[in-house]
Amino acid sequence: MKELICIVCPRGCHLQVDETNNDAVTGNACPRGADYGVQELRHPMRTLTSTVVLLGGIHRRLPVRTNGPIPKQAIPMAMDAINRLRVEAPVRAGQVLCQNLSGTGVELIATKTMEII
């Protein structure tokens, strides 16, 4: 039995996922929690947020995030790519900085507009 806290909504239900019983989920107040429990147990995903080096901007780093969740196990590889990335100002919030980040199929986007210095 695996115990998890559902992070799909602020209610934070305490879930139990029974691997010995076909991944049966209990403790969820709605069906989304059951889906989350099974996915978290079998194929955990996360939306990745970080910063990248910004060249010529009013700040030295630019906040970024993936535009969708990626497998948790792909995070170290994605962070390597993010750490190698250099972005030139100006940048608009929502601008795609990298397509198919580390082969995950998601894009890396800027979360803040940054003007030239």
Binding site for ligand SF4 (CB under 6 A): 6, 8-9, 11-13, 28-30, 32-33
Amino acid at residue number 95: Q
Grouping H, G, I as helix, E, B as strand and the rest as coil, residue 73 is: helix
Q: Which residue is nearest to ligand SF4 (CB)?
A: 33
CB of 17: closest distance to ligand SF4 in angstroms? 12
CB 43 → ligand SF4: shortest distance, Å? Answer: 17
Q: State which residue, 12 or 94, has the beta carbon closest to ligand SF4.
A: 12
